Each structure stands twice: as C-alpha cells, then as structure tokens.
C-alpha cells in the first residue's frame, strides 16, 4: 500500500475540514463582537487589513519564483474578487447574523454548494450527465443540502435539552437566545443574496488561478482590495460616526474585537482563501463548497454552549438531511476524480513533490502514455 499516495489524495479533504473548523470559530467570535455593538462594516475592514499585513511577507518569500506578471485583465478580476466576497458577501453575512443567530447563519449558507454547482455547470466547469450515477448523486446531493437548510429554517419543533445545558436554570435559562419569524425571513434574504456573491467569487477565483497560479499572492491581492473597497463602503455607511473605528478598553469588547479583527482576519480571510485556492486547483469549486455543512454542525454545538442559543429538533433533522446531501455530492465528485489517467497524474505530481528519481517519473509517464493509447 502506497501511504504517500494515500496522504497526497487525502490532503484536500484534511485542508477543507481544517478550514471549516476555523470558519466555525469565526462565526462564534463574530457574533460576540456584533452583540457588543461592533459595526459589521468595520469588522470586515479590520479583518482583511490584518490578513493583508500577515500574508504579504509570506507571499513575497514563497511565491517569488512562481508569481506571474500582473496584467490589466488579471487586476480587473482581482478587483471583482475583492468586491464579491470580502465586501458584498461578508457584509450581508454579518448583517444577517445581527438579525439572527450564529447557527442560523451557518445553516443558511448551505445553499452555497447548490448555487456553485449550478453556476459551475452553466460556465462548463462542472460536467453533468443525467444518465450518470455520479451526476445524479451531485444533483440530488445539492437538492438535499438546500432541503436540509430549509428544514432547519422553517421547521422548529420542540426545544432540545442537551446534556451540557440541562443544569441551566434561573438567569442562565432566561438568557436563552431565539429568533422571531420576521428576523428569520430578513436574515435568510440577506444571507441568500450574499451566497450568490460568494458563489460568484468561488467561480471567479477558480478562473483567475488558471492565469495567476500563485495562491498566496492572489490571497494578498484579494485581502488588500477587500480592505480598500470595504473601507470606502464603511466610510459611506458609517459617515459621521467615527467612534465605530475605535477599539475601546472594555474587556469584553476588546476581546471580541481583537479576536475577530486580528486572529480571524489572519486565519479566515488569509489562510482560508489560500486553502480554498489550493484545493480548488486540484478538486474544483464544488468540492470546496460542499464541505460548508460541516461548519454548520460545529457552530450549532459551540453556539449552544457559549452563546446560549436554543437548539430545536427541526435543526437536528435538517442537519441529518444536509449531511446526507454532503456525502452524495462528495461521492459524485470522487467518482469524477477517480479516473486511471488522473491517478497516474497524481503519481507523477507526487514524484516531483517528493523529489523522486527521473526513472520513477519516467515510468509513471510511460504508464500514462499506455493508458492514453488504450483509451
């Protein structure tokens, strides 16, 4: 058994799972900061400014030999990338979070795989054959993902007493957070519009990486453009209210602002864009977005513990449906990926990565040529 090849193939899965845990922590910390009165527009700016500062030196070092020349066409794409996700999507995301809860937001964004799948198919970045089992799996999987998200939104059901909340009485029980139908509808509209922008970002990022294959450098450009464009929006939306830019010496607010604006900015804006771009080059945009339901499960558990958010039976049922849809999509994508030629390509890439001999690479190339001739 070739363990090095197994690890090479497992890297995209491990990378996106790691990214989802980081994004789940972002949701919890962001909700704390917003509850303390922080402006969502300022939060977006601070987050991407911190990410730009930290990732820029790394890009200068590691992308020095592979960074292509910046052309007007690529720069225009970078401007759009900075507008689509850092500015439009994240501001709508945080506005939706203000009106709802961290769990609700993390649930609603699960329409993203369906939107991305449809957009990728329209742009011919995703193959669809109705008679193929793998295409049917991807179609039914994305439909199940959307259905599960809708169940979690519309079907409340009885409240669940989880083992870590059973002892909550008195003031703790009085602080349980729930949302009204009006807030749920408004929040879902804002988040859904943001998801369309996010899906467009994912598609455009995949296209941009074909002509600018330097993930770290592209990350820096996206964060920088997001900072500049987000600052312009923040100055307009928060005009006459300069106090929103200040970090006051209030312990709770300082902790929330520092965690969200700095730690999250570095991880979730910088590292997440890098991981997303790296995995997207190898597996495609649908694979990346199909793991978003995992973030929802993590947030649902963490928010019930740290934010006293109420968990209902409908959310649990929706979670089960979403996870089933997730595995259908992943199964369909894995069948796309498991062709003999791609396995040979993997071995060649792994030989280069591990510094294997020219003889090893040549043997794999010869095997690939035989496969092609046989086809």
Phi, psi of 179 (to 5 degrees): -125, 155
CA dist 16 and 291 (Å) reads 7
More confident residue, 138 or 338: 138
CA dist 97 and 187 (Å) reads 7
> pLDDT tens for residues 247-297?
665 434 443 444 444 444 455 555 666 676 777 667 766 676 667 677 777
Which residues have CB under 8 Å from 45's CB, separation 6+?
A: 227, 230, 231, 234
User: Maximum Cα–Cα distance for the chain, whole Å?
Assistant: 74
More confident residue, 127 or 44: 44
CA dist 249 and 110 (Å) reads 37
**Structure-token pair, residue 69:** 């020349």
- Angle, alpha carbons 30-281-26 (nearest 5°): 10
For the CA atoms of the chain, what is the radius of gyration? 22
Read off the DSSP letter of residue 261: I
Which residues have CB under 8 Å from 17's CB, separation 6+?
A: 291, 294
> pLDDT tens for residues 96-132?
988 888 888 887 777 777 777 778 788 777 777 888 8
pTM: 0.72
The number of helices, as runs of H, and strands, as runs of E, in the chain is: 17, 0
In the predicted structure, residue 243 carries a pLDDT above the cut 90: no
* Number of CB atoms found within 10 A of residue 359's CB: 9
């Amino acid at each position: 058994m070739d363990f090095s090849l197994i690890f090479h193939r497992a890297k995209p899965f491990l990378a996106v799972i790691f990214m989802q845990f980081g994004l789940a922590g972002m949701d919890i910390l962001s909700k704390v900061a917003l509850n303390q009165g922080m402006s969502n527009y300022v939060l977006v700016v601070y987050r991407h400014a911190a990410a730009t500062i930290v990732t820029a030196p790394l890009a200068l070092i590691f992308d020095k030999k592979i960074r292509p020349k910046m052309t007007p066409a690529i720069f225009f794409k970078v401007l759009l990338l900075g507008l689509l996700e850092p500015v439009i999507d994240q501001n709508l995301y945080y506005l939706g979070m203000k009106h709802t809860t961290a769990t609700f937001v993390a649930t609603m964004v699960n329409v993203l795989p369906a939107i991305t799948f449809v957009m990728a198919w329209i742009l011919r970045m995703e193959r669809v054959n109705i008679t193929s089992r793998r295409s049917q799996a991807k179609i039914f999987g994305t439909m199940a993902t959307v259905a599960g998200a809708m169940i979690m939104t519309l079907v409340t059901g009885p409240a669940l007493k989880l083992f870590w909340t059973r002892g909550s009485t008195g003031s703790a029980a009085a602080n349980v957070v729930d949302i009204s139908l009006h807030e749920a509808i408004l929040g879902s509209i804002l988040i859904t519009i943001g998801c369309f922008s996010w899906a467009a970002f994912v598609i455009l990022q995949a296209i941009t990486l074909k002509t600018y294959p330097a993930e770290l450098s592209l990350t820096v450009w996206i964060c920088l453009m997001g900072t500049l464009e987000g600052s312009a929006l923040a100055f307009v939306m928060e005009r006459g209210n300069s106090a929103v830019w200040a970090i006051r010496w209030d312990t709770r607010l300082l902790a929330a602002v520092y965690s969200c604006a700095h730690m999250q900015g570095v991880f979730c804006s910088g590292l997440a864009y890098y991981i997303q771009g790296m995995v997207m080059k190898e597996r495609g945009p649908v694979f990346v977005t199909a793991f978003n339901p995992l973030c929802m499960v993590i947030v649902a558990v963490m928010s019930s513990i740290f934010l006293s958010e109420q968990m209902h039976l409908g959310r649990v049922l929706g979670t089960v449906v979403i996870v089933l849809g997730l595995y259908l999509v992943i199964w369909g994508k894995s069948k796309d990926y498991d062709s003999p030629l791609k396995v040979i390509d993997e071995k060649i890439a792994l030989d280069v990565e591990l510094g294997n001999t020219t003889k090893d690479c040549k043997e794999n190339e010869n095997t690939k040529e035989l496969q092609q001739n046989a086809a």
